[in-house]
Chains A and B, each alone.
Chain A
Amino acid sequence: AQSVTQLDSQVPVFEEAPVELRCNYSSSVSVYLFWYVQYPNQGLQLLLKYLSGSTLVKGINGFEAEFNKSQTSFHLRKPSVHISDTAEYFCAVEGGTSYGKLTFGQGTILTVHP
């Protein structure tokens, strides 16, 4: 079985500052990794995904994430955040016997202050 841990439940940051949202996973088999964003009272929107190949993955809205197999991490980064990036971010993993199923982390609320 897979598990996902998002190390920070809340991350406050000032506008135009860089941000990193941390995600660690555990799995005994190869996995696929995803980051989703959720705005209040809405569903989830895919930011980016890692399936294979280059470990640095670029997504929408200027976000990127790096897959680190040795550290079993998939941290999300943005060099300069905007007020509109305020939302909740979920890291998710799919793999092994959980065919097609996603296991989500607990979520990180990113709050961007002016």
Chain B
Amino acid sequence: GAVVSQHPSRVICKSGTSVKIECRSLDFQATTMFWYRQFPKQSLMLMATSNEGSKATYEQGVEKDKFLINHASLTLSTLTVTSAHPEDSSFYICSASRQARNQPQHFGDGTRLSIL
């Protein structure tokens, strides 16, 4: 089955630090990757959609200058949380899809981000 690797699995850092999270599709080419945020005991909230070689499309209310997304290749997308603050603490999950339409998304194992 399709495998998506997300790294790191857990990050604890001080307020003001920028944190980069990587999402890799290990055995397929992901034309589209999605970034989600999940608060405790809540569902997944889509933050942005990234297509290889183009700018990410952000959902309403998500600050694109705060959450920088780069999808430089068909197997790698990164999310950088810039100048992180305690309210950015959350569980971030990426997913990858071979093509956007009707193909299931394959999810990484998530990154637990804790800002002190």
Same complex for A and B? Answer yes
Interface size class of B (residues with CB under 8 A): 20 to 34
The chain B residue sitting closest to A32, CB to CB, is: B102
Given contacts A42-B110, A43-B107, A43-B109, contact A99 B42 (CB under 8 A): no
Q: Choose the segment among B11-19, B43-51, B61-69, B73-81 that binds chain A (4+ C-beta atoms closer than 8 Å).
A: B43-51
Docked pose: A34 CA to B46 CA in angstroms: 16
Given contacts A41-B112, A101-B46, contact A34 B107 (CB under 8 A): no
Q: How many residues of A contact B (CB 8 A)?
A: 21
Chain B residues contacting A41 (CB-CB under 8 Å) are 91, 109-110, 112
Chain A residues contacting B43 (CB-CB under 8 Å) are 90, 104-107
Q: In the complex, are the beta carbons of A99 and B101 less than 8 A apart? A: yes
Q: Is B113 an interface residue when CB atoms closer than 8 A count as contact? A: no
B residues in contact (CB < 8 Å) with A = 4, 6, 32, 34, 42-44, 46, 49, 91, 93, 95, 97, 99-110, 112
